[in-house]
Structure 1
């Protein structure tokens, strides 16, 4: 199930009766125009009353009913004057979606000393009510409609709501069991369901391999298109029959993900698959991740959850990539090698990617991607847990120059790498992580506000300060 990165906002502007209704309606329209300018999809409440504003108790149930029927992913409560704090609280508590609280900055008092809106005061009141009702919410500080601060905060909130949406519907296609020696990939499937509502849908290697062979022999159009895509976008260094099998493997993963409603895949990439199909799945993983269905290796269920969150935070601007923390840079004490056998999206290759063979396995079956990651700032994260303790290890790095190696790889520099290394060893984290170009830390930090039971672990205090500041500023 490819992520659509579409977030539907329930737009419920609010006012209090004792302040100017005219100015509240004026700001309701100004804010709605700004959302349209930003191409935000939203459901308004124009049909609820003559003002299209959330004003009092009688508006609450009709607003809830409308937003539920529209299946909104998030709720926006702009205070167009003081606002109705109890009405906002009731709507937010009923919908159980991410909530954005904000209001446009007040003008100077009128010449006679009267004030039209008192928006900031109302925000204080609604924040208190939401806390009383134990409703988590996002707050963008009081600023003008045209302020860059409002746009940054709103877009950050929208991306965070996308993360929450994808996390809550998390359903992971597990292709076969974890590799027997990989105890690090153990997960508590029941606890994931109980704590977070995340489902794991397992299939065996037998049924998966049968589907691959069926597609390979069928002349399936998706397989044919994937073969053409590989030849158009990669340097092919393996036999043509192996190219076709890789294409069939990718199509089979997509098929099982679609029919089972899964938004990520975790595959036992070795060694049962090599015994059954004599290829590596790396390129298939890369191609499917590029299409918006993240695929992770070694049946890493927690890695798949990470990939769901990271890819959702990126809002479709760029795909994620699944990596190993591997070895330290030979010269830079804060440098580290991120790599894997070859599952990174080929759209992320610094130069044209090669379809070849991995170096780490004696069989050297074909199907791995060889490419260096294109340079830039990246975010690297890991959702993980053990003994009932869950966290998100999160931080930023930048790519640096380093020795050439095999597979998909990047040398990165991280401030105070020994501290991060120690955090991974001491847990609850492991050597796998998910990266993405750009800084998504403020988005993930805000999303965790709506995912109880998962703490944020930052690489260092400086990145934590910068992220928490960016999340609300």
Structure 2
């Protein structure tokens, strides 16, 4: 529900007035509260005021977040890796609290289908390889390249078969023993095409990606990154990276599919640095029946070269960000988009029964975003 009323004209010369808009707004707000109806308010303004058009467009983004969140089904390929206790989720709670469904399948169902595509020489494999060539420089053997393309198609087909809008995969190490490649370049192209797939069977990570992308109306593709280590020189700098899962649209330089990665000596990763800019970072997570969404902004900064897909981010206070992660309920995976959608995601929280959480002290600023004056709320970059 969006609540807005036009600003009243000046009283007529005889002292009469045509309406009392604020009287109605205040009454409606109270009645909506009586019936426990959450709503978003745009400040009392003229219809040609910038805050009105901004408010309507932003509310559409909020609606998109809520709609996609409530209609999410995630393909779970394999179990979580044994050591990753951090990615444990409560499937029943996700369904009962939010309507989020999981579609679990064993790794073998995916890999056998992948080999079936290769054995039958599915023509889409060569078409997919051509798509990769448009995006990236290919530095792996053609046999392995065929597997990368076939794995991408296999995950895509299984997501469609089970009616899923996102996926997760047990990305190591059984997968490498079965097919001899890493899945990350396959994930990268799926991410590029708007089908997020996360690693280490991180269900809440996939939800984080969905939230981040939907807040931009799909204009920006999300990163899915490990939050890894501090910058060697910048006290507020932090490395966010992965072995190649980032969407190709996020690349600053031309992507490469390298022969291997230092973590796993297999082909199937991708490598590039992400575009510069201000990003919104997002992590949806929970435990003990309570769920929250960690959100905030960070700007890219210069840093050392890193294998895989990566970005160095500068935070306002890295110690504060680090403490949020240590105390939880968050883990080392995070989604990010090259846009400031913190107010959108925070507003969406009231409609999905998730607590907004901030790693910077911006709660009041975010709340005022919806009803304040643009000149007092936005900094120069945002304007």
Please indicate the TM-score interval, normalised by the length of the shorter structure. over 0.9
CA contact (8 A) 2:181 2:268 kept: yes
Q: Which residue of 2 aligns with 1:459?
A: 359
Q: CA deviation at 1:301?
A: 0.5
The CA distance in 2 between the partners of 1:113 and 1:254, in whole Å, is 67
Find 1:360's aligned residue among 253, 263, 274: 263
* 1:472 lines up with 2:371 in the alignment: yes
Q: Is the 2:41–2:370 contact (alpha carbons within 8 Å) kept by the matching residues of 1? A: no
Alpha-carbon distance in structure 2 between the residues aligned to 1:472 and 1:252:
47
Partner of 2:4: 102
Moved more, 103-112 or 429-438: 103-112
TM-score in terms of structure 1 length: 0.77
**Residue 162 (str. 1) matches residue 64 (str. 2):** yes
Q: CA deviation at 1:123?
A: 1.1
Counterpart mapping for 1:102-181 below 5 A: 102-181=4-83
Could you tell me which residue of structure 2 aligns to residue 429 of structure 1? 330
Gaps of 5+ in 2: 373-383
- The count of corresponding residues between Structure 1 and Structure 2 is 371
Q: Does 1:389 align with 2:290?
A: yes
Answer 1 or 2: higher relative contact order, Cα 8 Å, separation at least 6: 2
Instruction: Provide the alpha-carbon RMSD of the alignment.
Output: 1.2
Measure, in 1, the Cα distance between the counterparts of 2:60 and 2:125: 35
2:275 corresponds to 1:374? yes
3-state SS, counterpart of residue 271 of structure 2: strand
How far 1:393 moved relative to its partner? Answer: 0.9
1:205 matched to 2:107: yes
Structure-1 residue corresponding to 2:317: 416
What TM-score do you get using the length of structure 2 for normalisation?
0.94
| 1:287 Cα deviation after fit | 0.8
Distance 2:150 2:332 in 1: 30
Provide runs of 4+ in structure 1 moved above 4 Å.
Answer: none
Matches within 5 A, 1:8-407: 99-356=1-258, 357-361=260-264, 364-407=265-308
SS at structure 2 position matched to 1:450: helix
Question: Do 1:398 and 1:414's aligned partners in 2 also have CA atoms closer than 8 Å?
Answer: yes
2: CA distance, partners of 1:368 / 1:467: 38
Preserved contact between residue 43 and residue 370 of structure 2 (Cα < 8 Å): no
Aligned residue for 1:444? 345
Q: Secondary structure at the match of 2:257?
A: strand
CA distance change for structure 1 residues 147 and 220 in 2, over 3 Å: closer, same or farther? farther
User: Shift of the alpha carbon at 1:351?
Assistant: 0.5
Q: Which runs of 5+ in 1 are unaligned?
A: 1-98
d(CA) in 1 for partners of 2:166 and 2:135?
24
The alpha-carbon deviation at position 296 of structure 1 amounts to: 0.8
